[in-house]
Each structure stands twice: as C-alpha cells, then as structure tokens.
C-alpha cells in the first residue's frame, strides 16, 4: 500500500505505526513502532517519536526534539528546536523504570519554545506559550505566557502569539486577529477565555496566515 506522507530517505519508520496524510518527516528522524502521528505534521531533522506516543494533526516538531513515551501532543502544537520532553522525574541508570513513565499532556495550540524543558507529569494548557529556555515543573493554564527558570506566568498570550494588554477601555484585544479575550476566575484561579472563537474551533482560513512580523506589530502597539 502506498504511503500518503513524505519521509526523507534517511528517516527511520518502524512498523507498525500510524502517520497521517500530508505529514512530512525530515533527515535522520525516527518514528518508533506503535507511535501515532496525525495529518499535516512536520517532524524536523533529528527528531524522535517513541513508541506509544500520540501526536495530533498540524503539529510542528522542530529539529533535535525527542518525544518520549508518556507524552501526548494535541492538534496545532509547536515544539521549538531542542526543547526537552522527558518521562521520568528521578532517573537513575541502575533503577529500571521502563513502562512506569509519568504522563505529560500538551494541549491544543500550545507553543514550547527553543531549549525549553518540560518536567514530566504536567499539563500545558491550550494556546499556552512557553518561552525559550524556560523550565516548566507544574501545570500551565490555557493562554499563559510562561518565562524563566523555574517558569512563572508573565501574563497572557493570544491565540496568535501576542501578549495581551488592556486597551483604553480595559479590553484584551489581540493586535493581529482582533479576537477579544476576557479574564475570569475558575475555582479561585485566574483563567482566560476567548470571546471571539471557541478554543476547540479551528481558525478561519483568512486568519491562518500571519499578517506581519511580531516586532512590527509590537512597535505599532507602542507608537
């Protein structure tokens, strides 16, 4: 049966596994048996997806990222270059913990920046933004902007990846999409919700391509 995805000749694909239509797998990548990868994903150079891992559709995994057993990645997630996803909090070479891995969930639309580390056993919320080099050791709310070591929340990020700041009327408006957000409290904990589009709904086609670069938008906001 012909495959409906693209894989570079140096990539290693162990059968059986499931790889969705339109996905692209680049140089020296390794997809292990029993891994599940959705449609229209990109696996960059020197990536690895372990056995039992589930990856959604339209996920972009940049160069030098290993996704180990116990990790689940939902749709539209971005994993930046050389970010680290582990599955044992207390590894010891002489203590075998194979098969008792901790589970990590990266929810829809989240971004994990370059060289960030996700300590196992946490959930990264929908559209959360983990800055480059951050170390995440606890659950992250939807839309949270997480920075530093250890990572701490530094406000909220829009679905298009822009810091949300109140306008003159106190509204939280994304400067690129125009989507409006509202800060609420759930169980005594601050939370963010998009008023313009449900979190599980796909972006309209006209908003799936960026309008201008990040710094240009930020300069325009500050002028």
* pLDDT tens digits for range 102-143: 999 999 999 999 999 999 999 999 999 999 999 999 999 999
How does pLDDT run across 153-196, given as a tens digit for each residue? 999 999 999 999 998 888 999 999 999 999 999 888 899 999 99
SS3 helix, strand, coil % of the chain, rounded to 5?
A: 5, 30, 60
- Indicate if 196 and 221 belong to the same structural domain: yes
- Indicate if 145 and 184 belong to the same structural domain: no
For residues 60-71, average pLDDT? 97
Distances (CA, A) of 68 to 88, 96, 209: 10, 16, 31
pLDDT of residue 93: 93
Q: Which helix or strand (DSSP H or E) is residue 24 part of?
A: strand 24-25
Q: Are 53 and 71 in contact (CB under 8 A)?
A: yes
- Indicate if 167 and 135 belong to the same structural domain: no
- Does residue 94 sit within a domain? no
Domain of 9: which CATH number?
2.160.10.10
> With 80 as the cut, is the pLDDT of residue 223 above it?
no
For residues 2-29, average pLDDT? 95
The whole-model pTM stands at 0.94
Q: Are 56 and 74 in contact (CB under 8 A)?
A: yes
Reference 127, options 199, 214, 184; nearest CA is 199
Which range of residues forms the domain containing residue 216?
160-223
> With 50 as the cut, is the pLDDT of residue 22 above it?
yes
- Does residue 95 sit within a domain? no
Of 157, 174, 196, the last residue of a domain is 157
Specify the number of domains making up the chain.
Answer: 2
Give the span between the Cα atoms of 154 and 157, in whole angstroms.
Answer: 9
- Indicate if 138 and 169 belong to the same structural domain: no
- Indicate if 169 and 208 belong to the same structural domain: yes
- Does residue 120 sit within a domain? yes
């Amino acid at each position: 049966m012909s495959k409906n995805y693209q894989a570079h000749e140096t990539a290693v694909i162990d059968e059986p596994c499931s790889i969705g239509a339109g996905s692209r797998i680049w140089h020296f990548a390794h997809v292990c048996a029993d891994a599940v990868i959705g449609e229209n994903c990109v696996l960059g150079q020197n990536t690895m997806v372990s056995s039992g891992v589930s990856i959604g559709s339209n996920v972009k995994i940049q160069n030098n990222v290993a996704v180990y057993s116990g990790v689940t990645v939902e749709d539209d997630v971005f994993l930046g270059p050389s970010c680290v996803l582990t599955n044992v909090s207390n590894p010891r070479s002489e203590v075998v913990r194979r098969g008792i891995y901790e589970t990590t969930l990266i929810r829809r639309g989240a971004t994990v920046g370059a060289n960030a580390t996700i300590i196992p056993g946490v959930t990264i919320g929908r559209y959360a933004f983990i800055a480059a080099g951050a170390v995440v050791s606890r659950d992250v709310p939807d839309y949270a902007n997480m920075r530093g070591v250890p990572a701490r929340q530094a406000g909220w990020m829009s679905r298009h990846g822009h810091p949300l700041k109140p306008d003159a009327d106190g509204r939280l408006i994304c400067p690129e999409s125009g989507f409006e957000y509202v800060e609420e409290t759930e169980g005594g904990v601050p939370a963010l919700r998009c008023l313009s589009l449900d979190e599980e709904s796909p972006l309209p086609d006209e908003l799936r391509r960026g309008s201008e670069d990040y710094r240009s938008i930020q300069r325009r906001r500050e002028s």
